[in-house]
Amino acid sequence: MNTSYIRRAHLAGSWYDDDPGLLNKQLSKFLADASENKTDVYETESTTDSENNGASDNKSAGIPKACISPHAGFQYSGPTAAYSFLALKEALISNPSLRTVVVLHPSHHVYLDGCALSGEFSIRYFSHAFFQIIYLISKHLSNDLYLIGAHEIQTPLRNLQVDDVLREELLGTGKFSTMSKGVDEREHSGEMQYPFIAKIIKDLEEQNMSEHDNFEVKVLPIMIGSIKTKSEETFGKLLAPYLSNESIFTVISTDFCHWGDRFSYTPMPPRNTHEAVNEVYEYIEYLDRKGMDLIALQRPGAFADYLREHSNTICGRHPIAVWLNSVVANKESGKQNLDVRFVKYAQSGKAVSKEDFSVSYASAVARQVSINS
């Protein structure tokens, strides 16, 4: 296995700015805006359900352990992703044992093998539809879990070191493979998390806000293919003891509903429904909310049933499901109990007819709570 290479910032200059100063300024603005509004919790059914998600009052929840973050171009999903990475910042400040950020992301690389983006172009030349249409082929992708092969990840702000020790430990289970350099560099869903991670680490180093004596935080991306429901449970249980470790924070990369003809998904608001969903964009949010509720309530089986019933085009469904199964496994074993809350929801546009299209973005934060809650 070749781990001697540095993963290039393949999408810098297209999906996000390749100029360090401009990128830093943009991410600072996103994070500042999110910090100013972070008390506005996006209400789901679980917000007041203490029986199933571990805590009835967010004040009782502790240090963040994971977040769900979108992965579109920053001009579209960056404001929502910032809510997720405020949780990473809080975790790094509060937990001196945190040493590794595990990134669970889906696979879109078959599309990118055929239509790889070039760093020569400015972000304004890429329409939202162009780089979101990748969802259409995600169902045909790999059916395994792959670890990054690089030892270092490039971002315009700073490079990130890969946790080689954890990678070798997971490879030792015999259940994981290693991504090739080409596959890795053409996959955007992991890469869109790296600049935010680099930004948070960079800021904390410069501001001396961390409790770490030797501030060295590494990353380990894991690409999850189109695995079956049973495999989601198997891998969730396998990863559970790692993800519950106090040294690890988990980022789950996903966008939510991709609506429109270009995504082959155009369900319309049903008539005579008791829900106030007269417009298409309202129905999209209604569909997303149903899935978000089940994620927050930590019900992987019900989430799988929901996807079968509604076919909602959530491209990170498999990383979400693997993570949910790990959360359930840790709760059942008494190792960890999490309170999961969605804190931000947005759509790329307000679809009102079949001529429109829309992609949904959501941010969620999982906090550790007392195992007896």
Q: What is the CATH number of the domain that holds 75?
A: 3.40.830.10
Task: State the pTM of this model.
Answer: 0.86
Residue 314 placed within a domain: yes
Tens-binned pLDDT, residue by residue, of the chain (373 aa): 555 799 999 999 999 999 999 999 999 999 999 999 876 555 655 554 544 454 444 445 799 999 999 999 999 999 999 999 999 999 999 999 999 999 999 987 543 222 211 222 333 334 444 444 444 444 444 458 899 999 999 999 999 999 999 999 999 999 999 988 888 888 888 999 999 999 999 999 988 755 555 568 999 999 998 899 999 999 999 999 999 999 999 999 999 999 899 999 989 988 766 667 789 999 999 999 999 999 999 999 999 999 999 999 999 999 999 999 999 999 999 999 999 999 999 999 999 998 999 999 999 999 999 766 5
pLDDT of residue 43: 60
Residue 165 placed within a domain: yes
Residue 174 placed within a domain: yes
- Using an 8 Å Cβ cutoff, are 353 and 248 in contact? no
Per the structure, the complete domain to which residue 362 belongs is given by: 6-369
pLDDT of residue 223: 93
Smallest CA-to-CA distance from 246 within 55, 370, 63, 103 is with 63
- How many domains would you assign to the chain? 1
Instruction: Please name the residues in contact with 202: beta carbons below 8 A apart, sequence gap of 6 or more.
Output: 24, 157, 158
Rounded Cα–Cα distance for residues 157 and 155 (Å) = 5
Residue 304 placed within a domain: yes
Say which amino acid occupies 48. T
In total, the chain counts a number of residues equal to 373
- Using an 8 Å Cβ cutoff, are 262 and 356 in contact? no
Query: 67 has which bridge partners?
Result: 251, 365
